[in-house]
């Protein structure tokens, strides 16, 4: 491990997240794999990194606005069976086979996440919202995050805005709160397998803190929506290259 490289990666990803509000997990996991980190370890380390950074997100958002705990709780309740199922699959499947499949799955989720982000706010699903759908959404996203660490924020926010018609201000709080619980419990599965690099996570977090701070300040002078679209196009391309490589 080369600590300065990963501190720099944390700084870059943190800056982009602070600048655009998107792309944290979608950039971190494929970047770690590109830098030679084993896919399983990359996912486990990113889940730890996401858990720590989301703690601050929940704290700051909780002080500035309300959080719909009723929705976040139902989402997580739907994710619990997915976390248990993910634990069984991770323990039963051969490690090399998992690494191969994780790369392909990661590429697919990156493509889906980028497309949903590009459509968000422009697409209306003609489905009447029901609580049963929230539990189902939690299960699907929970299973996805188990194996890629990507998708919780984008997929959930897309569904809540376009299906549940939730106020965008409430969507942010729900996705951060639910994402924190999901990443924390998902990380336990990887920690139990020894598939998390704590030193690496520490280096990423060390770089991410000033990165997010810097990106947030630059954000005030930039066209946020155009930046978000550019980021999602980049994530889409990363997903396509990951799929081709897988």
pLDDT at 209: 86
Query: What is the pLDDT, as a whole number, of residue 32?
Result: 92
d(CA 145, CA 148): 5
CA–CA separation, 240 and 31 (whole Å): 14
166 within 8 A of 160, measured Cβ to Cβ: yes
User: How far apart (Å, rounded) are the C-alpha atoms in residues 131 and 48?
Assistant: 30
CA dihedral sign of residues 4, 183, 144, 12: negative
pLDDT of residue 172: 75
Q: Around Cβ 112, how many Cβ atoms within 10 Å? A: 18
3-state helix, strand, coil in the chain (%, to 5): 85, 0, 15
CA gap 66, 169 in Å, rounded: 9
Stated pTM of the model = 0.84
In this prediction, the residues of the chain whose per-residue pLDDT falls under 70 are 1, 20-23, 60-66, 120-129, 219-222, 224, 246
Three state DSSP letters for 133-194: HHHHHHHHHHHHHHHHCCCHHHHHHHHHHHCCCCCHHHHHHHHHHHHHHHHHHHHHHHHHHC
User: For 149-173, what is each residue's pLDDT tens digit?
Assistant: 887 777 887 788 777 777 777 787 7
Closest-CA residue to 174 (of 187, 162, 161, 192): 161
**Tokens standing for 49?**
């990194």
Which segments within 35-109 are labelled E, that is strand?
none
């Amino acid at each position: 491990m080369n600590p300065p490289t990963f501190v720099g990666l944390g700084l870059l990803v943190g800056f982009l997240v602070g600048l655009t509000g998107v792309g944290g997990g979608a950039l971190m996991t494929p970047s770690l794999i590109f830098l030679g980190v084993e896919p399983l370890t990359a996912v486990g380390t990113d889940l730890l990194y996401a858990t720590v950074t989301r703690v601050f997100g929940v704290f700051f958002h909780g002080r500035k606005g309300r959080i719909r705990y009723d929705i976040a709780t139902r989402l997580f309740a739907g994710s619990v069976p997915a976390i248990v199922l993910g634990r069984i699959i991770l323990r039963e499947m051969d490690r090399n086979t998992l690494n191969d499949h994780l790369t392909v799955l990661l590429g697919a989720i990156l493509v889906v996440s980028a497309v949903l982000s590009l459509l968000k706010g422009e697409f209306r699903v003609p489905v009447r919202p029901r609580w049963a759908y929230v539990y189902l959404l939690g299960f699907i996203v929970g299973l996805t995050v188990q194996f890629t660490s990507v998708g919780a924020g984008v997929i959930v926010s897309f569904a809540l805005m376009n299906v549940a018609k939730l106020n965008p201000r409430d969507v942010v709080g729900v996705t951060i709160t639910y994402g924190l619980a999901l990443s924390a419990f998902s990380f336990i599965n990887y920690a139990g397998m020894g598939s998390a690099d704590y030193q690496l996570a520490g280096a990423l977090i060390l770089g991410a803190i000033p990165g997010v701070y810097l990106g947030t300040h630059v954000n005030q002078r930039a066209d946020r929506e155009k930046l978000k679209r550019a980021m999602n196009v980049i994530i889409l391309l990363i997903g396509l290259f990951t799929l081709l490589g897988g």
